[in-house]
Every structure is written in structure tokens, then in C-alpha cells.
Structure 1
Amino acid sequence: MSPWIIIVVLGACAIAYAFIMPRRDKEQQPSHQLVQEMESTLEHYMTEIEEDNDALIQRVAELKGEATAADQRMQSQLHELQQRLDQLEQQKVTTAEVIASPPVESITGKASEGLQAQKLLDSVRAENNQHFASVSESQVKAGFLEPKRESIKDRYKELFRLHDEGKSMDSISRQTGIQLGEVQLILQLAEREES
């Protein structure tokens, strides 16, 4: 081969290599930039994940504190309700003792233990006193008007109507607005009044 052909071929190779080299650098440069952008994006993403995790941990701690506070409130309410239930059961026992006692005099004596029974007896006495006070003594002496004692069934017609219908004491108590102990006492007094 002649030397000038070798020189031409080497020149052509050098020119081709010169064209290929910048392309290779251009190809490497964008891929390097792409890697840097991905690393930057991943670091940003990791930072966001860490912030979200911190916020989530803080929210879980807040929820745990709220749940603990709610649990404490419920425990105190439960304790108060238990105390109230004990008081009501004690009142029920006291009222049952008042109702179960045979003579009316003992009802008066034991009723002082229960506020509800005492209020009922006081209201009956007050109404009787008002009724008899309205009737003048001269009318009674002259025979125009005889003192008439109102029966307990007349005073609590609605209660006895519901009782005659077979309603439970709880139902009677709810419908008339009279407390359960008073309903029991009124029924007991009516039985004694009839006998």
C-alpha cells in the first residue's frame, strides 16, 4: 500500500474519531446530569418521607394522649355513675322497708329516713289541711257540710288507672312523672286504705 493511502485512511479515522468523541461526551454528560437529578429527587423524596413520618409520629402521640384523657374521663364518669347507682339502690332498700312496714304510724316514722316518702306524706297532710281549712267550722257544726276525706285513689286517678290497666311500676313512673319509690308507696297506702 502506498503511504498516501495510509495517511488518508489515518486522517479519515482521525476525523471520524473526532466526530464520535464529542458525541460520546455529550451522551455521557446528559446521563451524568440525569443521575445527579435523580439523586437530588431521591434526597428530596427521602426528606419529605422523614417529615411525614415525624408528623405521623406526632399525630399518633397526640391521639394517644387524647385517648388516655378520654379514658380517664370515662373512668371518672363510670365511678360517679357507680356511686349514684349505689345511692339509688340504698334509697330503693329504704323505700322498700318503708312500704313493707305494716302500720301507717310506722310508715310515718320510717318515712323520715327517705326524703321522697317524707315529701309525699307532707304533701298529703298539707292538702288535707288546706281542704279542711277552706271549710269553715261553723258550716261543719251547722251540718251544712260534712268533712270528707279525699281518698288516695281520688288524688292519683291517673296512677291507679295505669295500674288497673296492668302497667308496670316503671311505666307508671315514667308516664305520670312520679318517682318509682313514690309509686310503690302510693300503691301500698291505697291497699292499706282499702283494708
Structure 2
Amino acid sequence: MQEHVEAFLRHLKLERNYSPLTLASYGDDLRNFLDFLDRRCAGASALSPADVNRPHLRAFLRELLGQGYAKRSIARKLACLRSFFRYLKKTGVVQASPMATIVSPKLDRRLPQFLDEESMRRLMEQPDGATPEGMRDRALLELLYSTGIRLSELIGLSLQDIEMSGGTIRVIGKGNKHRIVPFGRPARRAL
């Protein structure tokens, strides 16, 4: 089973271009599942993926609930297993996914947190515009506010990614996907 996990993680890294953090999370989740199988089934290390069945998965789910895992963490672990067995089916290792009938816990929909207008104004006033660092910080804040890009995308920008005349930036997002994002006049002035 371990060799299939390693092949799956290689697939996610090389072909699906997953981030190092996502790969680490998937690796941890799969190791957690394999450890469970080792405890539950004597000789589970020799267990083939085709031997994993719905009762194994239901018992794993019960164990996670019993250990006090949050619904969101359980849903992520199940999504990882769902993806793993989908990969195994696609590569012909299993004929059907045992995850097909396993339902993830219902998650509460949380509204995103946001800054109100006054808080945003105060934040924009924080950088000292008289210093190079303050000018830089103001430009970064204006760019974040104007474009709505992720912080990780902002950190990954270089000067070559900024098209001042067109008022756009070229962003490399999740999955190494490129996109062009416009920015407004205040961001242009700050830049």
C-alpha cells in the first residue's frame, strides 16, 4: 500500500503541481490512514488497496470522531482518501472506489471576515510615506486592496509582472496558473 501512496504523492507533485503544504497534508492524512489500518488489521502493511472496504473507512471515520477531530479536518482527510482512491481507480489498481458511498460531514458555512471602510482607511494610513519602506508598504497594501489577490500571490510578484501602462499585473496563482489582474488608480499612484 505504501508504494501506491508514494506514487500518488509523486503524481500530485509532478502532474497536478500541488503546493508543498498540500502535499505534506495529503502525506500526513494518508500516513494517518495507513497507521489506522495497521492497528485495525494485523499485517495491514501487506494489505492491497483493493482490500480496503467501506467498513474500514467507516471505522476510520468513527476513530477520527472519537479522537475529537473537527468536522473540517475530517472532511479534508476524507477528501484526500477520495482523491487517492480515484487515482487508484484511474490507474487500474482498484476497480471501484470504496469512498463512493462515504459521506463527508456537513460543514458550517462561515462568512469571510473583512475590514470595514474605516478599518481599511486606518490600515492604509499606517505606512510612513516619507520613507522608502513606507512607500513600498503602501504600494503593497494598495495592490492587495485593489486587486484582491492572495498574499502568497503578492509575495510572488516581480517588477516584470507589473504592466503600468495597462494597469495590470500577471499573477501566478494556485496550481501554477497564470492570470492577468487589473489594478486601480490608487494602486497605480502608489506604485
Greater Rg over alpha carbons, structure: 1
**Which has the larger share of helix?**
1
Q: TM-score range by the shorter chain?
A: under 0.3
TM-score (norm 1): 0.21
What TM-score, normalized to structure 2? 0.22
